[in-house]
Amino acid sequence: MSAVAARPVAVIGCRPGVAGGVCFLEDQVVLHAVGAGCVQLHLKQNWREFIPGTEKTRGVQAMAISPDRRYLAAAETAGDQPVLTVYDLSSVPARRRRTLSATELPERVAVALAFSPDCQYLAAATAPPEGHLTYWLWEKQRLMAAVRLEAPGSSVCQVSFSPQDNAQVCFTGNGFFKLFKYSEGTLKQMNLEKGMPQNYLCHTWLSEEEVICGTDTGKLILFETGDLLWETSVEYRKPHRELEKDATTTEYERFSVCSSVDNSSQQDSLPQISAIAAYSKGFACSSSPGIVLLFEKTRGKELYKESQEIWLPKDRFSNDPEKSGRQNIICICFSPSEETMVVNTHKNQLYVFTMFTTDFMKERIAYFKYLTFPLHSASITGLDICVWKSILATCSLDRSVRIWNYQTNTLELYKEYREEAHTVSLHPTGLFCLVGFSDKLRFISLLYEDMHVFKELAVMNCRECSFSSRGHLFAAVNGNVIEIYSSITFQNINNLKGHSGKIHSVKWSADDTKFISCDTHGAVYEWNLSTGERETDCVLKSCRYSSIDLSSDAKVIFAVGSDQTLKEISESSIQHEVPAFGVVYTAVAVSHSGHMVFVGTSLGTIRAMKYPLPLTADFNEYQAHAGAVTKMSITNDDQFLLTASEDGSIFIWKVYEKGGEVVKWQKEAEYAEEVLIMRSDIKEKSQAMLDLQIRVKELQTENYYQLSLKDMYYNEKIKELEDNFTQEISSLKTKHQNLQAEKENQERQHQLQVSELMNKQAREMQKLESDSNQKLLMENEKYQELDEKSQKMQEEYEKQLHSLEESKSKAVKELTEYYEEKLNEKSVLLKETEEDMRRQFRAHEEIEKQIYEDEDQEIMEIKIKYEQQLWEEKESNMQLKGEIGVMNKRLNSLQKELKERNRYIAEIKLAQQKLQHFIKSLEDDILSLKKEIQERTNTVQDKEKHIYDLKKKNQELEKCRFVLDHRIVELKKLIEARGNDIKIMKKQIYEMEGELERFHKESTQLKLNITQLQQKLKATDNEMHRERQKKHNMEALLKRFKADLHNCAGFIQEPQKLKNGIRELYTKYVQESDLEEIEIAQKDLQPECMRQREYLERNLAALKKKLVKNQETHRGAYMHIMQENMSLIKEINDLRQELKAALTQLRHLKSTLKLTKKREAIQDIAPRSEPLPSPAVLRLNAEKENEKIIEMQQLEIQYLRNQIQEKGQSTPVEPLLAGNLPELNLEGSHKTQQQ
Question: Which residues, at least 6 apart from 280, have a Cβ–Cβ distance to it below 8 Å?
Answer: 338
How far is the C-alpha of 111 from the C-alpha of 125, rounded, in Å? 6
* Maximum Cα interatomic distance, the chain, rounded to a whole number of Å: 206
Question: Which of helix, strand or coil describes residue 1234?
Answer: helix
- Give yes or no for a contact between 189 and 178, defined as CB atoms under 8 angstroms apart: yes
Percentage of the chain surpassing pLDDT 90?
32
Q: Is the dihedral of CA 689, 691, 693, 696 positive or negative?
A: negative
Question: Which residues, at least 6 apart from 5, have a Cβ–Cβ distance to it below 8 Å?
Answer: 608, 620, 655, 656, 657, 660
pLDDT at 266: 46
Q: Pairing relation of β-strands 168-173 and 158-161? A: antiparallel
pTM exceeds 0.75 for this model: no
Question: How many helices (H) does the chain have, and how many strands (E)?
Answer: 12, 57
Question: Which of helix, strand or coil describes residue 910?
Answer: helix
**Which helix (H) or strand (E) is 847 found in, with range?**
helix 841-1049
Ranges of the chain with pLDDT below 50: 243-267, 360, 1166-1180, 1211-1235
- Give yes or no for a contact between 587 and 603, defined as CB atoms under 8 angstroms apart: no
Predicted confidence (pLDDT) per residue in 805-857, tens digit: 788 778 788 888 887 887 788 777 777 777 676 676 666 667 767 776 777 77
User: DSSP characters for 1005-1057?
Assistant: HHHHHHHHHHHHHHHHHHHHHHHHHHHHHHHHHHHHHHHHHHHHHTTTT-HHH
CA atoms within 13 A on the CB side of 999: 8
User: DSSP characters for 178-230?
Assistant: EEEEEETTEEEE-----SS--BEEEEEESSSSEEEEEETTSEEEEEETTEEEE
pLDDT at 14: 93
Q: Is the dihedral of CA 556, 559, 565, 569 positive or negative?
A: negative
Q: What is the CA radius of gyration of the chain?
A: 55
Backbone angles phi, psi at 1224, to 5 degrees: -65, -40
How far is the C-alpha of 57 from the C-alpha of 37, rounded, in Å? 9
Question: Which residues, at least 6 apart from 570, have a Cβ–Cβ distance to it below 8 Å?
Answer: 555, 556, 557
Amino acid at 850: Q
Predicted confidence (pLDDT) per residue in 1156-1207, tens digit: 766 666 655 544 434 434 433 334 455 566 666 677 767 777 777 777 777 6
pLDDT at 693: 92
Cis before 612? omega within 30: yes
Amino acid at 369: K
Q: Quick one: residue 1188, left, alpha or beta (phi over 0 = left, psi -120 to 50 = alpha)?
A: alpha
| CA proximity to 342, closest of 378, 361, 364, 368 | 368
How far is the C-alpha of 576 from the C-alpha of 612, rounded, in Å? 10
| CA proximity to 214, closest of 200, 229, 232, 235 | 200
